[in-house]
Amino acid sequence: MNALPAESLTAEQRIAMDFEAAERLADAIVERHHDDVRGRITISPQTHHRASSFGYPCDRRLYHDIKDWQTKAPVDPQVQQYFDRGNDQEGIIERILSRLGFRIISSQVALYDEELRIGARSDGNIVEHESGRVLVAELKSTDNAKLLACRTVDDLRQDKWGKRYHIQVTLYMRATGIGAAVLILWDASNWRPVVIPIPYDPILSEQLADRARRLNDHLDRNDPPGYINDSRECRHCPHFARACSPPMSFGVGAQILTDEELLAELERHTEIEAIGKEFNRLDAAIKGRLKGDKANPQDGLFIIGPYEIHRSVGDRKGYTVQATKTIKVEWEKVA
Ligand code: SF4
């Protein structure tokens, strides 16, 4: 490093040297972050079930989690970054709640059910001011628009992630004997809470307990449960093609398509899916608010910030709907 005295440098030289330093610094930050993320990807021994994994539908996966943790695939660095973001934001969310007067207590207390062999580390409890009652609190920061659209337990049950979180907090309630929980979803894009109150469901709790007993029986006999017969679950499973090699079938009559344009469109769809969902959610929310009183709609002109909004009311023609065939397609990126 040739450190010339600052006064002997021309303005161009100083800019060039500073810019080189900025480029080195930019590379160093990205590289260190990359190493930092990879350094935290570890496989740790698992000796009991985890409440946070109980939402996975495949019994065999939960069996291998314990029997074959050594051969489990490490998490993808992108997924590790999501975990890191969640963990970092959890502390921030706790601080915001505290500022609002809602303190999380008994944070990160380890819970263990001896009979079921289920361990848990809940985010903690929270006190409702009026009654003084202590409730289970589960914090999740997310930008999953579908999950963030949930408002009730029934909504959670319809959503893949919501269902998992419902199962998780049910096990926390079972372990603590607390009769209700609040799932605090923190919208990481719009930075606001979506809070869903959840009552303890004894029937679901017993179903989960039965599942644990069944799994423990398999574990004691060294006899894995059957395959799930759902290739989508298997492709995301850390035991796939490792401890578990399920017979994969694409079903009778699957055709291989070779349309490059369609493939490019599917790839682009995957890239912008999250943005699209966010757009649709906002679009529906904004239109809903701007339509005003739907029972008594009125024309109008509104101004907000730089936006000029026109509302015009018209008549919609009525048609008789003809019966047609419905065609439903779903897709998922599997490799
Ligand atoms: S690969 Fe499939 S069947 Fe095997 S444990 Fe995983 S999800 Fe279950």
Domain holding 185: CATH number?
Answer: 3.90.320.10
State the pLDDT confidence band at 335, using cuts at 50, 70 and 90: low
What separation in angstroms does the CA of 299 have from each of 12, 43, 203, 311, 312? Answer: 61, 61, 51, 5, 5
pLDDT tens per residue, range 276-314: 888 888 888 888 888 888 788 888 888 888 888 888 888
Do residue 272 and residue 179 come from a single domain? no
Q: 235-272: string of b/e by CB count within 10 Å (b at 16+)?
A: eebbbbeebbebeeeeeeeeeeeeeeeeeeeeeeeeee
Render 44-56 in DSSP notation, one character per residue. ----SEEGGGTT-
pLDDT tens per residue, range 220-275: 999 999 999 888 899 889 999 999 999 876 555 567 677 777 888 888 888 788 78
* Rounded (5°) CA angle 48-93-77: 55
pLDDT of residue 1: 52
Q: Would the CB of 244 count as within 6 Å of ligand 1?
A: yes
pLDDT tens per residue, range 65-84: 999 999 999 988 888 998 89
Do residue 101 and residue 155 come from a single domain? yes
Give kind and range of the element (H or E) at residue 209: helix 202-220
Residue 30 lies in a domain: no
Backbone angles phi, psi at 9, to 5 degrees: -90, 145
Residue 254 lies in a domain: no
pLDDT tens per residue, range 9-35: 899 999 999 999 999 999 999 999 999
Do residue 160 and residue 63 come from a single domain? yes
**Average pLDDT for residues 138-153, to the nearest whole number?**
93
How many angstroms separate the alpha carbon of residue 287 from the centre of ligand 1? 43
Nearest atom in ligand 1 to 234's CA? 2
Do residue 208 and residue 290 come from a single domain? no
Nearest atom in ligand 1 to 237's CA? 6
Do residue 126 and residue 193 come from a single domain? yes
Q: Would the CB of 161 count as within 6 Å of ligand 1?
A: no
pTM greater than the 0.75 cutoff: no
Mutate to test the pocket of ligand 1, among 63, 64, 65, 71 (most ligand atoms within 8 A of CB): 64
Type of residue numbered 138:
E
CA-nearest residue, atom 7 of ligand 1 = 234
